[in-house]
């Protein structure tokens, strides 16, 4: 087993090929988020339930006391204002995507993987820059022994057919050398196409909403998804630990409910 595969297995159980990941890095682009105002306190109960947690480089330093039995550290490797809507206090006039660190830097912070965005539906130069960054970081990650996970973000104004756009983003990520792909739930037909393209590369699903997570992950798991990827909305819930505990039991059961 090479080093990169070993690190991938730190948050993706090789026996069942499933994991639950929570992304707490949204504040990097959006500022203080509900439920994450006191970051360390908010994240602590999640660490024992999630298999991986996505954080910014600054947040990673606040999780230095994390034990090996808790969620693996996945580092957000870029910054973008594409997450900001028109209601944001400073809505973006142009779309920006800025790399923050390279695999060697992420390793120094104790990361098990590097996570980047792949923006779709924007100007051609944005998508070209995403593909270039994916290829570069995949090559550097192979040399450093650090997996690269690519999160497809089809939020641009040029997206017309959402499912097909997500398929396209996943194909770009896979061609660029991603070791794992994260996609918004695109529906069964498009997700089946993505899994065919991915072959043995794990694919995580971001549900259309937290309320839809249970139903969508049931379908996704039956089709062959690697697991569930949740955003920071989890931390605004009244009982995030109960919600995550239920999802964790579903993901790691020998057979998902309903099968």
* pLDDT tens, position by position, 20-51: 999 999 877 777 777 788 888 888 889 999 99
Residue 144 binned pLDDT confidence (cut-offs 50, 70, 90): very high
Would the pLDDT of 257 be above 60? no
Highest mean pLDDT among 38-47, 61-70, 179-188, 246-255 belongs to 179-188
pLDDT in tens, 81-130: 887 776 776 767 788 889 999 999 999 999 999 999 999 999 899 999 99
pLDDT in tens, 46-94: 999 999 999 999 888 888 777 778 999 999 999 988 877 767 767 677 8
- Could you tell me the sign of the dihedral formed by the alpha carbons of 125, 129, 130, 134, in that order? positive
User: CB–CB of 249/41 below 8 Å?
Assistant: no
Rounded CA-CA distance 133/151 in Å is 13
Residue 125 is encoded by which pair of tokens? 């130069």
Could you tell me how far CA 89 lies from the centroid of its own chain?
A: 25
Domain locations in the chain as residue ranges: 3-252
Which pLDDT belongs to residue 192?
Answer: 97
Which pLDDT belongs to residue 91?
Answer: 67
Rounded CA-CA distance 127/173 in Å is 11
pLDDT in tens, 213-222: 989 999 999 9
Would the pLDDT of 136 be above 80? yes
Which residues, other chains included, contact 224 with Cβ-Cβ below 8 Å and sequence gap of 6+?
A: 195, 203
User: CB–CB of 99/78 below 8 Å?
Assistant: yes
Q: In the chain, what percentage of residues exceed pLDDT 90? A: 64
Considering the chain, what is the average pLDDT of its residues? 90
**Architecture label for domain 3-252:** Alpha-Beta Barrel (3.20)
Would the pLDDT of 173 be above 60? yes
């Amino acid at each position: 087993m090479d080093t990169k595969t070993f690190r991938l297995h730190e948050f993706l159980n090789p026996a069942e090929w499933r994991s639950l990941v929570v992304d707490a890095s949204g504040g990097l682009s959006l500022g203080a988020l509900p439920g994450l105002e006191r970051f360390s306190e908010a994240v602590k109960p999640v660490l024992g339930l999630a298999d991986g947690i996505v954080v910014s480089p600054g947040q990673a330093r606040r999780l230095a006391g994390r034990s090996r039995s808790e969620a693996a550290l996945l580092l957000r490797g870029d910054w973008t204002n594409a997450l900001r809507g028109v209601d944001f206090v400073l809505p973006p006039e142009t779309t920006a995507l800025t790399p923050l660190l390279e695999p060697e830097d992420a390793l120094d912070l104790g990361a098990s993987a590097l996570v980047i965005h792949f923006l779709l539906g924007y100007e051609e130069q944005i998508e070209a820059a995403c593909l270039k960054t994916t290829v570069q970081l995949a090559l550097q990650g192979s040399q450093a022994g650090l997996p690269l996970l690519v999160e497809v973000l089809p939020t641009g104004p040029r997206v017309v057919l959402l499912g097909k756009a997500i398929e396209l983003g996943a194909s770009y990520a896979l061609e660029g050398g991603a070791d794992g792909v994260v996609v918004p739930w695109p529906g069964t037909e498009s997700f089946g196409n993505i899994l065919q393209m991915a072959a043995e590369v794990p694919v995580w699903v971001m549900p259309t909403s937290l309320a839809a997570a249970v139903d969508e992950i049931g379908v996704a798991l039956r089709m062959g998804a690697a697991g569930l990827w949740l955003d920071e909305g989890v931390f605004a819930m009244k009982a995030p630990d109960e919600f995550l505990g239920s999802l964790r039991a579903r993901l790691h059961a020998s057979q998902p409910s309903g099968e």
